């Protein structure tokens, strides 16, 4: 029994669907396999595609290309030879550092660090007081105050929320927090939360002292 005219019309309709989806030059398909061949790929008026006929769009060539799989049916991914991961520097997008021939990765470098000179060989009169400018240290988790003095001095720090009103730190027992710097170089490590920080150096000696103060900050 031959195919009826209605059946032939249905076959032709399905062939046209194939032509529109596969052979139409406007779809820009490259390297498209037709093996195993079948007279039509339409069921319920939808093209039934296997993994070997899945397409991906190449924005460079403006064409659709097939996506390949290995013997186990896993999607094949070409080796990444250039880093495509980017970060925004506030103006432009920049590549994240990587190595040729391997996938993108993030390099963990040293923590961001900043040294702020508050006093550089400043001459402090006998019984004189040096008060540094306030520094915004809100971006840093750890701070170290480094002070050197050529006479006996007392060093302490103050904190502020607005860089105007300053507060003296206290211990739980309500004792003042201060440090002796007697013709030496000392380091005071801080991990307290604070917005602004400044350093005060009081020369307790009867002679002038030369002092230097450096604030080291780490994220």
Fold type of domain 113-218: Jelly Rolls (2.60.120)
Above 60 in pLDDT, residue 17?
Answer: yes
Q: What is the pLDDT of residues 175-203, one digit of tens each?
A: 999 999 999 999 999 988 899 999 999 99
Helix (H) or strand (E) holding 5: helix 5-18
* Residue among 155, 81, 142, 86 nearest 112 (CA): 142
Query: What pLDDT, on a 0 to 100 scale, did the predictor assign at position 64?
Result: 72
This prediction's pTM: 0.51
Phi, psi of 110 (to 5 degrees): -60, 150
Which residues, 6 or more positions from 27, have their beta carbon under 8 angstroms from its beta carbon?
21, 64
Helix (H) or strand (E) holding 98: none
3-state DSSP assignment of residue 32:
coil
Query: What pLDDT, on a 0 to 100 scale, did the predictor assign at position 21?
Result: 54
CB–CB of 136/159 below 8 Å? no
* Residue among 73, 28, 30, 22 nearest 50 (CA): 73
Q: Regarding beta strands 129-131 and 152-160, do their DSSP bridges make them parallel or antiparallel, or are they unpaired?
A: unpaired
Rounded to 5°, angle at Cα 8 from 5 and 11 = 155
Q: What is the pLDDT of residues 107-144, one digit of tens each?
A: 555 567 889 999 999 999 999 999 999 999 998 889 99
Phi, psi of 215 (to 5 degrees): -105, 115
Give the rounded percent of residues in the chain with a pLDDT score beyond 70.
Answer: 67
* Structure tokens, 162: 């607005």
Rounded to 5°, angle at Cα 133 from 130 and 134 = 125
Q: Where are the domains of the chain?
A: 5-77, 79-109, 113-218
Which residues, 6 or more positions from 67, have their beta carbon under 8 angstroms from its beta carbon?
51, 54, 55, 56, 75, 76
Give the rounded percent of residues in the chain with a pLDDT score beyond 90.
Answer: 44
């Amino acid at each position: 029994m031959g195919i009826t005219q209605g059946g032939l019309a249905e076959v032709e309709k399905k062939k046209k669907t194939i032509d529109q989806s596969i052979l139409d030059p406007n779809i820009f398909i490259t390297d498209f396999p037709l093996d195993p061949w079948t007279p039509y790929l339409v069921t319920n008026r939808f093209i039934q595609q296997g993994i070997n006929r899945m397409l991906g769009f190449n924005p460079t060539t403006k064409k659709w290309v097939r996506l390949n799989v290995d013997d186990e049916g896993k999607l094949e991914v070409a080796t990444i030879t250039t880093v495509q991961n980017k970060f925004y520097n506030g103006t432009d997008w920049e590549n994240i550092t990587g190595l040729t021939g391997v996938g993108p990765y993030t390099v963990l470098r040293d923590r961001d660090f900043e040294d702020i000179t508050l006093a550089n060989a400043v001459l402090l009169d006998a019984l004189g007081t040096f008060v540094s400018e306030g520094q915004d240290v809100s971006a840093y988790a750890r701070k170290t105050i480094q002070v050197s003095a050529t006479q006996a001095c007392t060093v302490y720090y103050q904190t502020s929320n607005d860089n105007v009103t300053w507060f003296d730190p206290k211990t739980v027992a309500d004792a003042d927090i201060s440090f002796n710097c007697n013709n030496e170089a000392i380091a005071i490590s801080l991990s307290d939360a604070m917005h602004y920080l400044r350093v005060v150096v009081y020369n307790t000696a009867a002679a002038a002292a030369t002092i230097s103060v450096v604030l080291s900050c780490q994220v």
